[in-house]
Amino acid sequence: MSQFLIADDHPLFREALKGALTKQFEPLEVLESDTFDTTLAVLDKHEDLDILLLDLHMPGNGDLYGLIRIREDYPDLPIAVVSGSEDLQVVSKVMGYGAMGFIPKSSSAQEIADAINEILEGEVWLPADIKDKVEGISGEDKQLAAQVASLTPQQYKVLSYLHEGLLNKQIAYELNISEATVKAHITAIFRKLGVYNRTQAVLIASKLQLEAMESQQ
């Protein structure tokens, strides 16, 4: 029996996709998650998953961080990003950071099934109209991915709050940890990212925000 994981915070979309996939793949067990943390929990319990269908904007995902982190922790797991955006810059980043496919949410059930079948065969899948337009990521982006992959999920949460401009005591409150722990996380973040202050760390965090990338179009 095949095992697919749908990681998306919209229950109606998960249900619709689950129904479509169940008709296309037989027999099939579809697992579901709605946050980055619950996705990690499912991945930890199910080592034989055939594919992860990942929404970039899930709570806790941090846009590109979730993809980078999961690719680092589960290098053999095929990941297909399922997104409502078809922005070429976003697609290029996603594929450069290790996804094996980019499936628009507007795709038909048959198109999604065809994409998954190709990915399960070890092929990379992209919509035909953008396949030849996707560019490779730069060496700087590859270095960024390696640095970000070294952050724990908790450290990335702290980095995200730094990006939002929160003070240490505010971050401590949001995460229900002590200010001393926040400072320890920040020290580790600076070391892992190779930066020396909050401004530099925030600039790196900005590069992982898909909304900012899309708004530049």
In a domain, 179, yes or no: yes
In a domain, 209, yes or no: yes
- How many structural domains compose the chain? 2
In a domain, 140, yes or no: no
Q: What is the mean pLDDT of the chain?
A: 89
Q: Give the pLDDT score at 26.
A: 82
pLDDT at residue 90 tops 70:
yes
Q: Do 158 and 52 share a structural domain?
A: no
In a domain, 132, yes or no: no
Q: Do 62 and 20 share a structural domain?
A: yes
Task: Find the mean pLDDT for residues 88-98.
Answer: 88
**pLDDT higher at 171 or 93:** 171
Q: What is the 3-state secondary structure (H, E, C) of the chain?
A: CEEEEEECCCHHHHHHHHHHHHHHCCCEEEEEECCHHHHHHHHHHCCCCCEEEECCCCCCCCCHHHHHHHHHHCCCCCEEEEECCCCHHHHHHHHHCCCCEEEECCCCHHHHHHHHHHHHCCCCECCCCCCCCCCCCCHHHHHHHHHHHCCCHHHHHHHHHHHCCCCHHHHHHHHCCCHHHHHHHHHHHHHHHCCCCHHHHHHHHHCCCHHHHHHCC
Residues 38-71: tens digit of each pLDDT = 999 999 999 889 999 999 888 888 778 899 999 9
Q: Do 58 and 158 share a structural domain?
A: no
Q: Do 100 and 20 share a structural domain?
A: yes
Report pTM: 0.85
**pLDDT higher at 136 or 77:** 77
Q: Give the pLDDT score at 4.
A: 96
Q: Residue 46 sits in a domain of what CATH number?
A: 3.40.50.2300
pLDDT at residue 191 tops 70:
yes
- Domain boundaries, position 179: 150-215
